[in-house]
Structure 1
Amino acid sequence: LMLDTVDLQWAIILQIFLLIWYSPVEHLIVRNLTFWGQLGELTEYEFLPLLSSLEELISLDGSMKTLTLEHVRSKIYYFNQEILYRQFSEMNIASLTIYDAYMPHMLCPNRTSSFQYLNFSHNALTDELFQNCGTLLDLKLLILQRNKFESLPKVSFMTSRMKSLKYLDMSNNLLRHDGADVQCQWAESLEELDLSSNQLADAVFECLPVNIKKLDLQNNQISSVPKGMTDLKSLEELNLALNRLADLPGCSGFTSLRFLNIEMNSILTPSADFFQSCPGVRELQAGHNPFKCSCELQAFIRLERQSGGKLFGWPAAYVCEYPEGLRGTELKDFHLSELACNTMLLLVTALLLTLVLVAVVAFLCIYLDVPWYVRMTWQWTQTKRRAWHNHPKEQEAVLQFHAFISYSEHDSLWVKNELIPNLEKGEGCVQLCQHERNFIPGKSIVENIINCIEKSYKSIFVLSPNFVQSEWCHYELYFAHHKLFSENSNSLILILLEPIPPYVIPARYHKLKALMAKRTYLEWPRERSKRALFWANLRAAISINLPIADENRCGETD
């Protein structure tokens, strides 16, 4: 039987209730019940006998088994509410629900109660409910959600004498437990406990029923599962969603765990050894966490492949949150190479590559004689720096010679007997810079070479097998080549005195090889008839008007 929107005087409601009690109705549901009455309508002497007869009646066996009162409102407060609570606590029925009635208290039955199911949700009950109550021996299910309970130990003491209690719902209360040397005492028969949406922290694991099988702790303030907690050897289902956990808990205290929900926590990189420490777990809900997609997460992704479908909600619920560039990427689509994630392998690879690079660079340096070029560049820089400090006004080079002659000492006879006489004593006035007569005593050889090259319009290199074997000839070629690029001039003249086999040219003479391959050179003819043309071409190559002061020295060479 269901009655909806009842708004009557309390006396009339009691009379209706008495009539129903005599009827064969087993289940009565009354919703939106409002009772009222004026103070003068029913005196205390008329009211109490009616309640007394009701109490005697409802304590007897009847056909009613279930009574449900929902959304109850009262407009009278002139009678003792304890008398009203007594009528409900002494009812001889199996199930009683009083929902949303602003009820602040309920009395413990005076004698062993037949209640098996009590639901006092959405009221104003406090920690004083059923304390030291030993008459609810047959109670199996107790629902007290959305009340004002604050102490978890007091809740445990409330259940300690309920020998048949199997299920307790304390969700959406204000429960706390600080673990300050307070021992909890739960009903040994309790198997299912709902403590969700409270204010419980890590210490809650010190105050739990040892025989619990199903435990709901979602939406609390738990940041870790202490390792030294009491073993819950019978626990099969654990819900830790919506907490502050940073990693998956181990199963050292939950040897029988089969189901774990750890969704919507603060887990960035869950431990990959979870199923090793929890071999009995058949389903793990770990989705909707702010996963950080990095190398550490690769092991967890492999864990999913090995678990055989134990990760509930895979892959949609498992999405990268960090880094920002990967936000929204499903974990199944996140991949990193083994090299990127294996630090030791990365170090070994980097070391090998470094060694190979060093070996290649060292080989090239030796093969191309790089140290020699570095040394020459340094000497050229130092020479230029000294010249700047000593004669800053003379840095603009003034040409004094038509050409600087570079040759091997083994070829000096040809230079002195053929080259110099034909250029200086022939037609025209050609000034040649030769180391034997034009190098300034006191200066270094390198400095003299640089000065002669910079004061000469051209640099003539007499090439022969002897030339490529001469260290000083190499210096002179290097500095002349440097001038070629620094001044963007066409100042090199190559004279091939004798053929030079390629294998004779050392590796460091790669510039000479390049010059001979790209530039036209004059070859000394063995036939005398062709030598006139040779000297004419050479004179044309070095033809330039030098300053008058220097031209006057032509006569001195005669």
Structure 2
Amino acid sequence: MTKDKGIILRNFVFLVAFTSEVITLSSDKNEFAIDMSKVGLTHVPKDLPLKTEVLDISQNYIAELSLSEFRYLPRLKILRLSHNRLRYLDFSIFNLNRNLEYLDLSNNQLKRITCHSITSLKYLDLSFNDFDVSPICKEFGNLTQLIFLGLSVAKLQLDLLPIAHLHLECILLELEHYYVKEDARESFQVLNTKALHLVFHPNSLFSVKANLSVNALECLQLTNIKLNDVNCQVFMEFLSEFTRGPSLLNLTFNQIETTWKCLVQVFQFLWSKPIEYLNIYNLTIVESIGEERFIYPRTTLKALNIEHITNRVFIFSQKALYTVFSEMNIKMLTISDTPFIHMLCPQTLSTFMFLNFTRNVFTDSVFQNCSTLVKLETLILQKNGLKGLLKVGLMTKDMSSLKILDVSGNSLEYERREGNCTWAWSIVVLNLSSNLLTDSVFRCLPLRVKVLDLHNNRIRSIPKAVNSLEVLEELNVAFNSLTNLPGCGAFSGLSVLTIDYNAISNPSADFFQNCPMIRSLKAGNNPFQCTCELREFIHSVGQASRAVVEDWPASYKCDYPESSKGTPLQDFRVSQLSCNPSLLMATVVGTVLVWAIATAILCVYFDVPWYLRMVCQWTQTRRRARNLHVQELRRALQFHAFISYSGHDSAWVKTELLPNLEKEDIRVCLHERNFVPGKSIMGNIINFIEKSYKSIFVLSPHFVQSEWCHYELYFAHHNLFHEGSDNLILILLEPIPQHSIPGNYYKLRTLMAQRTYLEWPKEKAKQGLFWANIKAAFNVQLMLMTENNAEASF
């Protein structure tokens, strides 16, 4: 029954403001709201926070309430105690709760209450209890702010005088235990309420016979109505008491079980009454469905709303059922959540302006070749069994006033080969969402449509060659498989685009330029690839107004690469250099050139080439020394080095070369010191070159002018080739121009061209490396002969 009450409360417009306040106070985000429902409580907790404003302790096992449980909750506004085991209640326990506005005590076992005035109450529900007598007492007359009152009634003869002066918005009377003797008729008067909700026993046939008088009643809801062909007249007599005056505008039946014949009779009865809105929820049709005569007189009824029909008649005439509804002379008809598979086309020009057939089983045959719905402006066919978009278009062909068409939630498909689509020229709002449509749908659309909803389909792209929708203002293609933002070539007037939840990774940066009319773009929740291509789009979003891009930046995040996944697009950074290949190449080339020039300058400034040559020579010398054959190393030698030089260079030899060599224990052969007297000069040269490990030649312009130096070089070179060793060390003391070398010094030319020589550096800092190279050439242990041994050999 609580659910039934919720349904009727939602239908009463006058309670919207108060209900919104209750919902706000009891929301989970309210730090002063406590929900302890369904936790098995037997008593109200005593350790509740003093600031509690909303307390829900419904659906527990609480049997008693006391003052001490509520005295420390001075800010309490909403108290839910429904579905407990209360038998008695003293309202004085709420004396200290002066802000209490909402008190729900429904669905307990209350038999008696002790009244006390709670002047702050706006909502008091005592329905679905076990009162033996009326719970209304004189103290209720002080509840001047009360707008809702719920009561359980065993008899309709209630003493409502204490609350007669109150201007209530709604009274709920639960009559499940109502019993009246046969042929007895009671009187019941409810004053100053805009809405009355009567709940009858769910399993008993309707049998209430009463004279009810309600002042200014605007809304009446009746719940749990069970009718057959016998008591149908009793029900209509009961209704007649409420429909005598012109004030009742809204009539609602909930949980009604009836025969088809009785239902048609009720329609016929109400058709001439001053009711404007008739709502039927949870209708069950029993017994049989046959042809029933229904006359449609002039009526004030504007809308008939029927939701959720259960048909327990399995064999019946479809025409008998559908004709009653299709011929109704009203403006708005809603039949939803039913097993209806069809609806007939009206036989004459229809007054329907609004038709809603949501959640039925309609097929493509509905309203085909129907030319009588010329006043229809809104047609809703959500969640049916429609399959062909082409047939849907043909259905609307003669609906010359149709503006809004909703066929979402079907299984619509369209292929280009099916032919051209025909639509009502007047359609401006078209909802094709949640179907099976592909890219070809853009070739089958009404040309004057302004609002188009295609979300949740199978669209991968918007073809460039599509019918021009010049007046299209709003397009929703969310939840598809689009990979890019569409251009506005065919949609020149597009101002609102919803394209979130697609497969867009690199949206076009020129979208805002191509779509100058856009004022709202919703493109979040796409798998954006945060690469260079995305920079321009982010920049264009920055230039556009943030109000234009919906959900920015929360819904716009990187999906690739993995290192940036989840990063908001507005925080994505990548350098201009890495995204511009030409600029990158120019930067790299420029950097290399600068580095090369700087290196060259530094090399020249610090004479790096000379150092490199010297290091290379030192390395090669060490390597050659390590690779000498053991037999050659054991060869009997007298000197480490034979030195050949010009007399003009003797000063450098004696002051620089000899001291540095001999301090390293290198034995040097000089002609003026070691040549054997009495021997020919040529014989001495040959003999001592052969008895020396290396031959050092000090080259200079003076060297090339010395004939003996030439002989020494000749024999040393001859020894080089004869023994296959590398025993020449060339020291360039001073530069020797090639043109200054005599022609007969061809060996010197050859050696200087083919062999590496050591240059004597003038700078003091370089001389250490020079001597290291000389020393490396003698980094071997030799078995040197003594001078006596040498002389003996001669």
Normalising to structure 1: TM-score of the pair?
A: 0.75
The aligned residue for residue 434 of structure 1 is 695
Residues 74, 400 of structure 1: alpha-carbon distance in 2 compared, 3 angstrom cutoff: farther
Q: Report how far residue 451 of structure 1 moved.
A: 4.1
Q: Report how far residue 515 of structure 1 moved.
A: 5.4
Cα distance per residue 1:169-209 (max 9 Å; x no partner): 01111111111151111111110000011111111111111
Give the Cα separation in 2 of the matches to 1:335 and 1:306.
17
The aligned residue for residue 4 of structure 1 is 254
Work out the percentage of aligned pairs sharing the same amino acid. Answer: 36
Aligned residues between the structures = 484
The aligned residue for residue 339 of structure 1 is 577
Give the Cα separation in 1 of the matches to 2:779 and 2:503.
86
Residues 464, 362 of structure 1: alpha-carbon distance in 2 compared, 3 angstrom cutoff: closer
1:480-519 alignment runs, 5 A limit? 501-502=762-763, 512=767, 514=769
The aligned residue for residue 492 of structure 1 is none
Give the Cα separation in 1 of the matches to 2:493 and 2:341.
39
1:155-554 alignment runs, 5 A limit? 155-180=392-417, 182-309=419-546, 310-360=548-598, 368-369=608-609, 373=613, 380=620, 400=637, 403-404=640-641, 409=646, 413=650, 420=670, 433-435=694-696, 436=712, 439=716, 441=718, 443=720, 448=725, 450-451=726-727, 475=756, 477=758, 501-502=762-763, 512=767, 514=769, 546-547=782-783, 553-554=789-790
Give the Cα separation in 2 of the matches to 1:65 and 1:323.
59
The aligned residue for residue 278 of structure 2 is 28
More helix by share: 1
Give the Cα separation in 2 of the matches to 1:181 and 1:252.
26
Residues 216, 416 of structure 1: alpha-carbon distance in 2 compared, 3 angstrom cutoff: closer
Q: Report how far residue 244 of structure 1 moved.
A: 1.2
Q: Report how far residue 242 of structure 1 moved.
A: 1.1
Cα distance per residue 1:123-154 (max 9 Å; x no partner): 11111110110000111111101011111111
Q: Report how far residue 221 of structure 1 moved.
A: 1.2
Contact 1:406 1:462 in 2 (8 A): no
Could you tell me which runs of 5 or more consecutive residues in structure 2 were left unpaired when the two chains were aligned: 1-250, 659-668, 677-687, 697-711, 739-747
The aligned residue for residue 531 of structure 1 is none
Give the Cα separation in 2 of the matches to 1:370 and 1:184.
88
Cα distance per residue 1:398-430 (max 9 Å; x no partner): 79465335675566656699962687589xx99
Secondary structure in 1 aligned to 2:505? coil
Give the Cα separation in 1 of the matches to 2:421 and 2:506.
35
Higher relative contact order (CA 8 A, sep 6+): 1
**Is 2:352 aligned against 1:115?**
yes
Give the Cα separation in 1 of the matches to 2:723 and 2:599.
28
Indicate the RMSD between aligned Cα atoms, in angstroms: 4.3
Give the Cα separation in 1 of the matches to 2:779 and 2:445.
108
Could you tell me which runs of 5 or more consecutive residues in structure 1 were left unpaired when the two chains were aligned: 454-460, 479-495, 522-541
Give the Cα separation in 1 of the matches to 2:591 and 2:634.
48
Give the Cα separation in 1 of the matches to 2:445 and 2:508.
26
Give the Cα separation in 1 of the matches to 2:595 and 2:634.
42
Give the Cα separation in 2 of the matches to 1:235 and 1:544.
96
Q: Report how far residue 555 of structure 1 moved.
A: 2.3
Q: Report how far residue 279 of structure 1 moved.
A: 0.7
Contact 1:402 1:544 in 2 (8 A): no
**Is 2:791 aligned against 1:555?**
yes
Give the Cα separation in 2 of the matches to 1:258 and 1:446.
97
Cα distance per residue 1:368-408 (max 9 Å; x no partner): 33798499669959x959x97xx977587879465335675
Give the Cα separation in 2 of the matches to 1:543 and 1:395.
14
Q: Report how far residue 359 of structure 1 moved.
A: 4.0
Cα distance per residue 1:245-266 (max 9 Å; x no partner): 1111111111111111111111
Secondary structure in 1 aligned to 2:521? strand
Normalising to structure 2: TM-score of the pair?
A: 0.54
Contact 1:401 1:433 in 2 (8 A): no
1:43-82 alignment runs, 5 A limit? 47-48=290-291, 51-52=292-293, 54=294, 57=295, 59-82=296-319
Contact 1:408 1:466 in 2 (8 A): no
Cα distance per residue 1:2-33 (max 9 Å; x no partner): 11111233333333333333432221111111
Q: Report how far residue 514 of structure 1 moved.
A: 4.4
Secondary structure in 2 aligned to 1:211? coil
Give the Cα separation in 1 of the matches to 2:264 and 2:526.
54
